[in-house]
Amino acid sequence: MSAAERMQRQQNRTAWLFLLPLIIALFGVAIWPLARSIFFSFTDAFLDAPANYGFVGIDNFIAVAEDPVFWRAVKNTLFFTVISVGLETLLGLAIALLLHRAFVGRGIVRAAILVPWAMPMVVSTRIWEWMLNDQFGLVNELLVTLGLVEKGIAWTAEPSLILYTVIFIDVWVTTPFMVLLILAGLQLIPEEIYEAAEVSGVPHWKRFWSITLPLATPAIGVAMLFRTLDALRMFDLSYVLAANNENTMTMSIYARDQLISFQDLGLGSAASTWVFMIIGLIAIVIVGALRLDRTTG
């Protein structure tokens, strides 16, 4: 064995040694719980006695698939994801373009815009729940004062409005996250390209379509992927605002209800596995559609 081969083997052993704590942690907090959840999804176990179970095959998966409440939750989740991520991407790109320009106080503005995202989701939800209250909320008070409405609107109680209220709060909270990722991508674009375009007399709108947007697409794609996966798993905002209201029920809330409220470990695990498979499939589609697996630095 040559010296180069011995050095390579030593480097490989060192690399695995450094990776071992991460692998152990990943196994403990992700792989093992997922495997247990998949295992229990094939049983009739209940949460109060998980050791007493029998195998029922795919009956739990069929029961979840035949439950109209589950598909209502899937519909709510997909609608929430498409609208919220779409708005956050557009607003994030627009704000990132503004913050990318040099102006006095840019650092302060960049720090201030992250405040909504830095706040815990539960805190933000409670703040907006109070501000949108139909009796004493600031938003309704302003609308009534301006004469836009005659009386306060029940933003968090009206079935036709509550899901849009959830989307609005999520956009307010999470847009700064999109701004942060997209702005990082914009800062990687060489200034020399813009200078050459300016010298050549290329108009601003054409610089955006021909230079900024294509070169920022990888960053935008990664931001959309992260936000989509996060939105598909959304639980806290909807649950804090409306608990298990079917008008805002997401897939995660449905799985939680089966597992915690009904104490059905088998059915809850099957619902969680359904959620995992749906999110995994959507992630694969997004990566393929945006060609993120082919994106180079």
**Token output for 189:** 């674009």
Q: Residue 242 corresponds to which tokens in the numbers above?
A: 């409306």
Cα–Cα distance, 250 to 231 (Å, whole number):
10
Instruction: Give me 191's structure tokens.
Output: 């200034």
| Separation of alpha carbons 125 and 137, rounded Å | 14
Tens digit of each residue's pLDDT (9 = 90 or more) over 53-89: 999 999 999 999 999 999 999 999 999 999 999 999 9
CB 249 within 8 A of CB 272: no
Instruction: Give the Cα separation of 172 and 87 in Å (integer).
Output: 10
More confident residue, 1 or 295: 1
Cβ partners under 8 Å of residue 296, min gap 6: none
Nearest to 268 by CA among 279, 277, 257: 257
Model confidence band, residue 296 (pLDDT cutoffs 50, 70, 90): very low
Q: What is the reported pLDDT for 293?
A: 57
| Domains by residue range for the chain, with CATH | 67-290 (1.10.3720.10)
- Separation of alpha carbons 74 and 232, rounded Å: 9
141-179: pLDDT as tens digits? 999 999 888 888 999 888 999 999 999 999 999 999 999
pTM of the model: 0.87
- What does residue 103 show for φ and ψ, rounded to 5 degrees? -155, 160
Radius of gyration of the chain (CA): 24
* Number of CB atoms found within 10 A of residue 5's CB: 9
Q: What confidence score (pLDDT) does residue 96 get?
A: 92
pLDDT per position as a tens digit, 85-141 = 999 999 999 999 888 887 788 788 888 888 898 899 999 999 999 999 988 889 999
* Residue range 26-42, pLDDT digits in tens: 888 888 988 999 999 99
CB 189 within 8 A of CB 211: yes
